[in-house]
Structure 1
C-alpha cells in the first residue's frame, strides 16, 4: 500500500529525525508505528546515521504489530526485522540474524542488557509504550538506565505519559535524556517539584505538585516531547459512553456493607478476609462483579446482576459483535459458562477472526488487549463487565475500537453496581483523565505555528 502521510505524521517523523532523543506523546490511532518506521527508514537509508535498531514493545505488539506495519506499506519493504522472542535459544538465534530492526518484548529487556552490556550493538532504541517504564524501581527500567549512555538515539512512544500523575514522568524522561531535564534521581525530582501529601508520621504515601511546578515541568519537556490528540488531527468516529447501573438485592447489599465495614464476611464454609485497605478495595471490586475469592482461594458466587445486564446489552446489540472486558479470572469463567458463542482473545488467529466479523462476542482482559492491537474492523461495541483503576489500561483498551479506521460510532458500556466501589472507580477514571489531558495539552505540538 502506498503511504500518504498526514501533515502531523510528517511533522512527527521529522521530529524523530531532527532529535537524537525524542518523546512522541501521540494519542491512540495516530499511527505511531508507521511514523517511527518511516523515520527509521530515512535515518538508515537516506541519512546513513543508524545501522541497527532495537524496538522494545509489549509482547503481543512485538509479536504482530510492527512487522505487520512493515508488510503493509510499500516504502518500508526494504526494512528487515528479527523478532527476539520466545525461549532463550530462539532469542539468541534471532540476535545472530542480520537485520535492520530487532524487536523484543519488555519482559526480556534485562536479559538482553545483561547479555550485551559490554558490546551494545544498537545505535537507536525505540521504546513502544514508554509509560510501562514509569516505575524507577522496576528491573526493566534499571536495565535500560544502565545501558542508556550507549544509546545514540532514543525514541519513546506513548499516548498516556502520566497515567497516575506527574511523578510517573521522571523514569520515562530519564530514559530519553539521562536525567538532563528532570534530574538524575527520583529524589531530586520529587524534592524540586512536589510536596508530601498523605502521610503517617515519617511514612509518606503520596505527593502533590508544588505551586507553578507543573508549568516548569512542561517547559523542561518542550524541546524533546511532542504531543498530539487524535481529535485534533483525525475525523474520529463519535464515542458514546454509557453507564449501566445495576441494583444489588437487599441481602446482597447488606453483605457488601458488612465486608466494607468489618473487612470480614463470614460464609457457610469459609470467610472473605481483607487484611488492609488495598485488599479490601480488591475484594469489593470482585464482590461488585458478582463473585469473590475466599480465604482458601476458592470462588464464592454472590450475585448475577452484572450477568443479567450483560445479557441485555448483547441482546440490544442486535447481532453486532461485542468486545467484553473482564477484571478477574472468575469473571471470565462465569461469563464463558453463562454465554454461548463467546471466544477469549488469546492469539493472532483470534484477532484475525474478530476483524473478519467471525466472532459475535470477544472476551478479553484489558491488560491483554491494552496496547497496539487493531480490532476496529471487527466491531464498535465495548462492554466493561468489571472496571479498572488504571487510566492507562482503560484508555488503551477503549482505543482498540475507537481509533482511525473505525467506520461506525463506538459505544462504550460500563456496568456499574450502584452504591459500590464501581462508582468510585468511574469517578477516579474521569478525574485522572482530566489531569492526563492537562499534561498532553502542555506539551502539544504547535504545528500550525510551524507551518506559518
Structure 2
C-alpha cells in the first residue's frame, strides 16, 4: 500500500494549491494523479483544518469506482468514507443516506440529485464539490450545467479536474471557468465573453445567426492570463518517468471495385448498394459515411449494414498474431466495428471481451484478457488499464483529439510496467482516414474543423 510519503513533489505542490484556493482548476495530463491529489486535499480540509463537512465528486460513471479504489490504495486516505450514488433511484437514495465523507455520483445523475434536494425541501449539504471531468460541463445550456449552477452559491470550495480543458476550443472555458469561480473572471454573459476574445466566423447573412467564432490573435494568452491565479497546469512527460509511446501507422487498401463505390459516394453523395440507395445530405453526414466505408461497412437509411471490405479486420488479426500472446487493447468507433471485430476474431480462435464493467477492468489488469475491446466514447476518461498491457490498436480513428488522447492514456500512464507503449493505427489509403490522421496530428478537436475541410475539399474536387 502506498503512503503519503510516496506522493511526488509536484503532487504535494498541487495539494497545497488546492488547500490555498477555494476555487481551483487542476489541469493535469493523464497519469499525473489528479484523484489522489484531490483525496489528500479533502482529507486535510476535512480532518486537519475542519473547513469542510461533506464533499461531492461528480465524475463519469466508471470513474466513480476509481475514486473508491484510489482511496483504499493509499494508507493516509484508506479511512475516508466514500459512498457511490449510482444505480437505481432506490440505490441512489440509500447511498445518499449513508454516513460518508465523500459522495461520488456519475454526471448523468447530477440533475436527479439536485432535484431530489429541491423536491424534499432539503438544503444543499455539500460544502465542497469536485467536477471530474470538468470538460463535461463545457455546455452552459446542458441540464447538468444548469443543475450545478443552481447549487453553486451554496458551495464553499469548488474544484475542476481535467486533462483537456478546451476539447472543443477556447469557447469551452466560459462555462468551465464560470462554474468554478462563480462567473467572476469572464462574467455571466457568453455574448460579452465572445465579444472580448473572438470574432465572428461562419454566419448566415440573411438571419445573422453565427455558426462559429474565431479566437482573436491574442485571445489564448489573455484568457489563460485571466485564469492563472486559480489554475495549475502540468504535463506528464515533465513530471513522470514515462515509458516511450510509439505510434505506428498500418496502411490497408481497397480494391478497384471497392474504391469505385467509395468514389461514387464522395462525388455524388449517393450510392446504390445491394438494392439500397444510401445518401449523404451534407458535409457532416458525408464525412461520417466515408469513415464508415473506410472501415469496411456502410449504414443504410433504415439502419441496416452493407458490407464493403474486410481489409482492416485482416490487418487487425495480423497485428494480434504479431503480438505473440501479449494482451492487446482494440479500439473501435462504429457499432458495426464492434460486432465485426468480435465475430471475425472469434472465428480465428480468439476470445475478445468488452472492457465495460469493474470486473472486466480488474480481469484486464490481472492479465486475464488477451484481446480487450473499448470505445473511446465510453472509455475515454479515468480508466486505469495500464497494468493489463501496452499494445493499443485503433481500427477506426475518431475526429476528436480529446477522445483519442484520453483513450491512448488508458495504457500510456503512470504505473505501466512496459518500457514502451505501442499505439497502432489501421488506416485505409486514399480515404478520409488520412484527413483524420492529419487532424489528430494538429490536435484538432472539433468535427466542425473537419466538416470545413470536407466542404473545402469538395469544392476543390480533391477530397480523399
TM-score strictly above 0.5: yes
Quote the offset at 1:268 in angstroms.
2.5
Match of 2:412 in 1: 402
1:296-326 residue CA offsets vs partner (Å, 9 max, x unmatched) = 2111111011011111111221211110000
Pairing 1:103-182 to 2, within 5 Å after superposition: 103-117=104-118, 119-182=123-186
Task: Give the unaligned 5+ runs of structure 1.
Answer: 436-452
1:427 to 431, 438, 442: 438
Does residue 335 in structure 1 map to residue 341 in structure 2?
A: yes
The equivalent residue for 1:417 is 428
1:56-135 alignment to 2 at 5 Å?
56-62=58-64, 64-117=65-118, 119-135=123-139
**Is the 8 Å Cα contact of residues 329 and 371 (structure 2) preserved in structure 1?**
yes
Q: Which residue of 2 aligns with 1:29?
A: 31
TM-score by length of 1: 0.94
Deviates more, 1:338-347 or 1:231-240: 338-347
1:162-213 residue CA offsets vs partner (Å, 9 max, x unmatched): 1121111111101101111122122111111000122332232221111212
User: Does residue 348 of structure 1 match 2:358?
Assistant: yes
Does structure 2 retain, via aligned residues, the 8 Å contact 1:53–1:102? yes
| 2:228 alignment partner in structure 1 | 222
Deviation at 1:434, TM superposition (A): 10
What secondary structure sits across from 1:199 in the alignment? Answer: coil
Relative to the length of structure 2, the TM-score reads 0.91
Q: Is the 8 A contact 1:164 1:432 kept in 2?
A: no
Kindly provide the CA deviation profile for residues 382-428 of structure 1, in whole angstroms up to 9, marking residues without a partner as x: 00101111111111100010001112200001111111111111111
Q: 1: distance between equivalents of 2:117 and 2:441?
A: 43
Tell me, in whole angstroms, the C-alpha distance in 2 between the residues paired with 1:383 and 1:22: 36
Superposed CA offset, 1:25-46 (max 9, x none): 0010001000000000000000
Residue 242 (structure 1) aligned with residue 244 (structure 2): no
Quote the residue 1:19 is aligned against. 21
In structure 2, the partner of 1:316 is 322
Does residue 376 in structure 1 map to residue 381 in structure 2? Answer: no
Gaps of at least 5 residues in structure 2 are 447-464
Q: Distance in 2 between matches of 1:213 and 1:99?
A: 43
Report the 3-state secondary structure (helix = DSSP H, G, I; strand = E; otherwise coil) of the residue aligned with 2:225: helix
Cα deviations by residue, 1:109-136 (Å, 9 ceiling, x for unpaired): 1111122245110000000110111111
Corresponding residue of 1:301: 307
Runs of 4+ in 1 over 3 A off after TM superposition: none
CA gap 1:280/1:342 in 2 versus in 1, 3 angstroms: same
Q: 1:186 aligns with which of 151, 176, 190?
A: 190
In structure 1, C-alpha distance between the alignment counterparts of 2:375 and 2:98, rounded to whole Å: 34
- The Cα of 1:335 is off from its aligned counterpart by 0.5
Does structure 2 retain, via aligned residues, the 8 Å contact 1:24–1:226? Answer: yes
